[in-house]
Structure 1
Amino acid sequence: MSDNYITISTVKEVENPKELSQKIVKWLQSDEIIQSELSDCVLSTKNKGYKPGNKHVDAIGYDENILSLNTCGVEIKTEREVFNAGAFTAMTKLECPSCNTNRFEGITPQDFFTDNCTEEQLNLFHTVFPEFDKWSNNEKASLICPHCSKESSLTDYKTDNSIAFSNFGLTFWNWPDLEKEFLMELKTKIGAEIIRMNGHL
């Protein structure tokens, strides 16, 4: 059985992410969306998570008996990272800020997923990941556009909202779809624009 996740992160970095995480955890616990204690309920080698609380249904709208799952909880992240980088493919838009052209222009899903890409096309894809790592480590991260040959900062590239360069996020492991009202309240509590990303392992 595969594991699904919903990641909610801020669109950009926030100040004092650890303080913000304490505020959000306190709110989720007071509303009994999550439990009070950390446990091994998420797929992470770094963090533990919070299991669903007694009123977790308020966040999803209906009961899917998720409490029976071993992997089911909320993971809080407060360090710089490219959120959802594991779901990054050549189908992800990465648009040059200088010429507004997608880095992966001309690569089709059929070619990418059947290993029919040229070496040059694959290189355009694989060279992005070292820059992800640099950005996460607070190093200079940039890409040279294959179309206009201009170098731009990684975070100046426009994406299609399937990844985010941030330092604050929550991952809901194996939770069903979240209610719009809950997401709106979460955004208000965070006090910044948020992005929602789905994926599975």
Structure 2
Amino acid sequence: MGDWFETIADVDATAEEADRLGAEVLSWLVEQGIVMAGVNGLNVVTGRAAFYSTGVDRVVCPHCQSAIVDQDDEERWPSFSESIDSWCAGGSGVESCPHCGKSTGLNEWHWSPPWGFGYLGFEFWNWPPLDPGFIADVGNLLGHRVVTHPAERSSG
């Protein structure tokens, strides 16, 4: 049996608040008896990161609803990949739609499966699938929009 993980990414947390919010959620998880003080298959990730668990099947413009990247035609993926690399290195993470011309931040595009770009994420390793109510509770505790990623199973 291989390892897998599922992620909850806070795509609105700033760099300045990521450590504090991460500690608050971890404290809440311990208080609720969900995790013990220690690893327990939970990795709190702070710092600029792209949060995802699988490749991209489709990316759709939020303005004109055009599919810019899809699994059948990945012509635009190199441009998105450059924007992601730039964002992770401190850049703006803005990509322009070739159909409507509007420039949009990476978190505003419609990703399938979901991807998120932010300063705070929680990776749950080898847990059962996360309950939607639990994900909502974490989002409410953070007070921010969160993006979740389906469990990715790997062999090993």
TM-score range, shorter chain: 0.7 to 0.9
Shift of 1:196: 1.8
Give me the identity figure in percent. 21
Shift of 1:126: 2.9
Q: 2:49 aligns with which of 81, 86, 92?
A: 81
Partner of 2:28: 27
Partner of 1:185: 137
* Structure 1 gap segments, 5+ residues each: 38-49, 52-72, 109-120
Opposite residue 66 of structure 2, the aligned amino acid is T
Larger radius of gyration: 1
Normalising by structure 1, report the TM-score.
0.64
Shift of 1:180: 3.8
Shift of 1:160: 4.1
Shift of 1:122: 3.8
Partner of 1:200: 153
Shift of 1:128: 1.7
Question: Is the CA contact (8 Å cut-off) linking 2:69 and 2:75 kept in structure 1?
Answer: no
| 1:122-175 CA-partner distances (Å, limit 9, x unpaired) | 442233212111112221333343434x26234243334611122211111110
Opposite residue 5 of structure 1, the aligned amino acid is F
Shift of 1:28: 1.3
Question: Is the CA contact (8 Å cut-off) linking 1:97 and 1:152 kept in structure 2?
Answer: no
Normalising by structure 2, report the TM-score.
0.79
Q: How many residues align?
A: 150
* Structure 2 gap segments, 5+ residues each: none
Greater share of residues in strand = 2
CA RMSD of aligned residues (A): 2.4
| 1:105-127 CA-partner distances (Å, limit 9, x unpaired) | 6x53xxxxxxxxxxxx4442233
Q: 2:103 aligns with which of 152, 170, 178?
A: 152
Please list, as runs of the form range in 1=range in 2, the aligned pairs for 1:59-138 lying within 5 A after superposition: 73-84=41-52, 87-89=54-56, 91-92=57-58, 94-104=59-69, 107-108=71-72, 121-138=73-90
Alignment of 1:166 with 2:118, yes or no, is yes
Higher relative contact order (CA 8 A, sep 6+): 2
Shift of 1:35: 2.3
